[in-house]
Amino acid sequence: MKKNQLVLFVLIVFVSITITAQKELDVVLDSSTKVTPDGEGGLYFAGTKDVNYRFSQRISPHGDCVDVVNGYAFVTWYKGGMDTRNLMLSRKNLNLPNSSWVTIEFPHKHVGQGGELLNGTGIRGDSHNTAAIGVSTIDNTIHILYDMHAYRSSSLPNDFFNYSVSKTNMAFVPDNEFTLDIFNPKRNYLKSGEDYERMTYPMIHRADDGSLIARYRQGGSGNGDILLAHYDGSVWSNNWLFHEGTLALPNRNNMYGGERFLNGKFYSGFSIRYSTNNDANTSNGYMLNSGLYYAYTNGIPANASTPWFDVNDTSISLPIRNNIDSNLDPVQIAQPGDDYGTDTFPKSSSDPAWTVTENGAIHFVQRVDNRNVHYYKLATDTNFSSNVGGLIPNPQTRGELYSYKNHVFMVELLGGKVNIKTTIEGQSDWEIVYTGTESIDFDHFDAFVESNKLYVYLMEDTGNNTPEVGDKRPLYFQEFTLSEVDAPEETNNLSLEAEDYTIASNDINVGTSISASGGEYIDSFASNQFIEHKFQVTTPGTYDFILFAANRNRDDSIMDIEINGTLYDDVLITRTFDWNIYLETRIPDVTLNQGENTVRLTQQRSLSSEPDKIEFELTSALSINDFNAQYLSVYPNPSDGVFNIKSNNQNLQYNLVNIQGQVLEKGSVSQNKVDFTNHARGIYFVELSNKTDRFVKKIVIK
């Protein structure tokens, strides 16, 4: 039998207490609009892998496909279905309420895997061929790099590298002028004379001065270089080598990750994929991606002479070259495969998600052998801390870590809904602060953060995977406002851990999880099994019952819940879509009595949910005769632990209660004094009562 946890919460009267609350991240959805016109949709590679598409089904939205600047949102996509595939650019004026999306259709069509679609030799789409966008605020030009996957000019002479740029001062023209006419003809270069063959994964980043940085990989998976170029508002620079992966074996590799301008600096965060990444005999100990790497520059990287630094602020030389011997690797900050790998050859199948806060805290999230790991450090910390599992965000959703003030957060999709998790910088205490409630489900997304705004660009999951119908799906754009709010005080909540039951049926299993309250939960809760809690209440009244439970799979998970003899049958348990996420199921207006109360949970749908904790939230207390404050005082306060009690009331009893609501000591007041010198320094509450009255006072033991 598990221990019976007694939790008492205190009603504070005649006392005004001011406590500086921890600030929490608040995320509010401002609007959700449809990007694609009615009857149209973004391209989706429906059908069967290696028949209708290669690699993955996602192409719109994908990659560096969102830019928001001067109050305008720009998004790229490909037009669905497979018989069209045109490059598209949509823009929305966010400064005007209820403004519409305006869209430009380009003549270019997605070329498909290796140009198959263009040449008519096949029908396979290629998810690598993303469309990156960036707007320069120096000359107000729109730049798009798109539809490339290591192509050579000999095989695709007109489409191996695709670049479209608008004419000067056309980014913010009125909606009726936002047409194809504002763009120059497509070209196959940024700067004439440079080599743009075999490029993949384009990105465009805007610096604070409005200039742009283009980046792309030249080469292939496990054998490629990362090149950068700078647009100064007039012309593009030569390509220059940032990361060299085309090295001699066994060090041949390429970088999987990206760069970002944050808080006036330009950062790079990535993992490494070695050329032998799928060969157990020569994979350098890791399959697919491995390691976490970090570097930054204080300037705008217009050329290779810009100074770069590692995590210790030590100058490094460019290009970055990675070596399997980490002692020779200048920018590796961690090796998650060594720390958390469970396979013989640990595998990271995704790029790392990462951010740097305005205070310089660094956070990385990576996936290792199907578990999420989190590495983090404050600017003042010497070393990284790390955690695994639980609520740590999953980079496989292709979200990205972002920061707002001292909050780190990540956007994910959970059960087709936008889900946002956050932690304070330098910590790994993740919690969910937003879950979408739309009637439609989403399949994938990209996101963009500007100041206190979050923008999420999504494709609807229509549920149809037939090539003839499912290759055209609506696109949506959601706008959120980020802010800070005071963390709610829970002085009126009574909390019971599910595993701390008083009695239970046979064979109750208690599982462990770092995402569960107290680290434990009820595991494998089978049909007709029950747990029962008996608990004490000092403030009788009307409460809301709240059960926090995980329910990954079922929309019809139900329990019978009995509270003080009142049965609430077939209570529907909220679906969470993840066994590591515990969301609330609420029963309003239940009555708790002063003294002992009982709650029993009986599982009706076997193994469909896993209880974590129970809370009772006070909504209306019963009337109580309280002492008149002028006839009772507690002094000195603070004290070393001995407090004098001045009162006209006789036969006083006391409870010493900590700020978590736990009764630490109880007894009778003797000689108008109470002695708490055996307790640690801190903030407490002393509850004084007789048969009819009660008084509560905050005290400080110094």
From its phi and psi, is residue 406 left (phi > 0), alpha (psi between -120 and 50) or beta? alpha
In this predicted structure, what is the pLDDT of residue 19? 35
Task: Give the pLDDT of residue 327.
Answer: 61
CB contact set of 569 (below 8 Å; sequence gap of 6+): 560
**Which of 669, 673, 671 has its CA nearest to residue 690?**
669
Please give the backbone phi and psi of residue 176, each rounded to the nearest 5 degrees, phi first. Answer: -70, -15
More confident residue, 649 or 359: 359
pLDDT for 623 beyond 60? no
Report the pLDDT value the prediction gives residue 13, as an integer from 0 to 100.
31
SS3 517: helix
Tell me the two tokens of residue 649. Answer: 């009331």
The pLDDT assigned to 325 comes to: 73
**DSSP H stretches of helix in 405-509:** none
d(CA 42, CA 475): 6
CATH architecture, range 629-701 = Sandwich (2.60)
557-586, pLDDT tens digit by residue?
A: 999 999 999 999 899 999 998 898 999 999
- CA dist 632 to 189, 652, 672, Å? 84, 11, 11
Higher pLDDT, 68 or 506: 68
Q: Mean pLDDT across the stretch 620-646?
A: 70
Q: Which pLDDT band holds residue 622 (cuts at 50, 70, 90)?
A: low
Contact 597, 565 (CB under 8 A): no
Contact 443, 421 (CB under 8 A): no
The alpha-carbon radius of gyration of the chain (Å, integer) is: 30
CA distances from 59 to 44, 147, 296, 458 (A): 6, 10, 30, 11
pTM of the model: 0.78
β-bridge mates for residue 520, sequence order: 512
Question: What is the band of 115 on the pLDDT scale with cuts at 50, 70, 90?
Answer: confident
User: Is-contact 590 543, C-beta < 8 A?
Assistant: yes
Residue 659 pLDDT: 58
- Kind and range of the H or E element at 337? helix 336-340
pLDDT in the model for residue 119: 65
Is pLDDT of 694 > 70? no
For the chain, give the percent of residues with pLDDT over 90.
68
Q: Which residues pair with 214 in a beta bridge?
A: 204, 229
Go through 419-451 and write b for each residue having 16 or more CB atoms within 10 A of its CB, e for each that does not.
bbbbbbbbbbebebbbbbeeeeebbbbbbbbee
Give the pLDDT confidence score for residue 295 in this predicted structure. Answer: 97
Is the separation of the CB atoms in 86 and 164 below 8 Å? no
Residue 120 has a pLDDT of: 63
pLDDT at position 66 is 98
DSSP 187: B
Concatenated DSSP letters for 534-593? EEEESS-EEEEEEEEEE-SS-S--EEEEEETTEEEEEEEPPP-SSTT--EEEEEEEEEE-
**Model confidence at 667, in pLDDT bands (50, 70, 90)?**
confident
Average pLDDT, rounded, for the chain: 89
Label residue 90 exposed, middle or buried (CB < 10 Å: 0-12, 13-18, 19+): buried
> What pLDDT band is residue 11 in, cutting at 50, 70 and 90?
very low
- pLDDT above 60: residue 15: no
Where do the domains of the chain lie?
489-621, 629-701
> For residue 394, how many other CB atoms are within 10 A of its CB?
22
Provide the residue type at 459 as one letter. M
Confidence check: pLDDT of 235 > 50: yes
pLDDT digits (tens, 9 = 90+) for 276-321: 887 777 667 888 899 999 999 999 999 999 999 999 999 999 999 9
What's the CATH number of domain 489-621, 2.60.40.420, 2.60.120.260, 3.40.50.720, 2.70.98.10? 2.60.120.260
d(C-alpha 261, C-alpha 297), whole Å: 10
Residue pair 337/285 in contact by the 8 Å Cβ criterion: yes
Query: Cα angle vertex 470, ends 468, 472, to 5°?
Result: 95
Q: 102 and 178 in contact (C-beta within 8 Å)?
A: yes
**129 is written with which tokens?**
């061929």
Q: Which burial class, exposed, middle or buried, applies to 372 when counting CB atoms under 10 A from its CB (0-12, 13-18, 19+)? A: buried
DSSP 3-state of 330: coil
Q: pLDDT tens across 439-472, in order? A: 999 999 999 999 999 999 999 999 999 998 999 9
Q: 2 pLDDT band (50/70/90 cuts)?
A: very low
689 and 8 in contact (C-beta within 8 Å)? no
Say what the pLDDT of residue 514 is: 82
Indicate the pLDDT class of residue 652, thresholds 50, 70 and 90. Answer: confident
**Helix, strand or coil for residue 8?**
coil
CA 328 to chain centre: 33
Of 530, 620, 546, 616, give the one whose Cα is nearest residue 583: 546
504: three-class secondary structure by DSSP: strand
3 state SS of 487: coil
Give the pLDDT band (50/70/90) at residue 33.
very high
Residue 6 pLDDT level (bands cut at 50, 70, 90): very low
Is residue 17 predicted with pLDDT exceeding 60? no
pLDDT, tens digit, for every residue of 388-444? 988 899 887 777 899 999 999 999 998 899 999 999 999 999 998 999 988 999 999
How many angstroms separate the first and last alpha carbons of the chain?
39
- The alpha carbon of residue 520 and the mean position of all alpha carbons in its chain are separated, in whole angstroms, by 23
Q: What are the tokens at 659?
A: 């700020």
492-495 long-range Cβ contacts below 8 angstroms, 24+ apart? 492/9, 492/539, 492/617, 492/618, 493/9, 493/615, 493/616, 493/617, 493/618, 494/7, 494/9, 494/535, 494/537, 494/543, 494/592, 494/615, 494/616, 494/618, 494/661, 495/7, 495/613, 495/614, 495/615, 495/661
What is the C-alpha to C-alpha distance for residues 225 and 247, in angstroms, rounded to an integer?
9
Average pLDDT over residues 245-251: 92
Q: Please write the tens of the pLDDT for every residue from 479-528.
A: 999 999 887 655 567 899 999 999 999 999 999 988 898 889 999 999 99
- Please report the pLDDT score of residue 7 as a whole number: 32
For the cut 80, the answer to whether the pLDDT of residue 22 exceeds it is no
Span 252-259, mean pLDDT? 94
Residue closest to 213 by CA, chosen among 195, 236, 197: 236
Question: What pLDDT does 688 receive?
Answer: 81
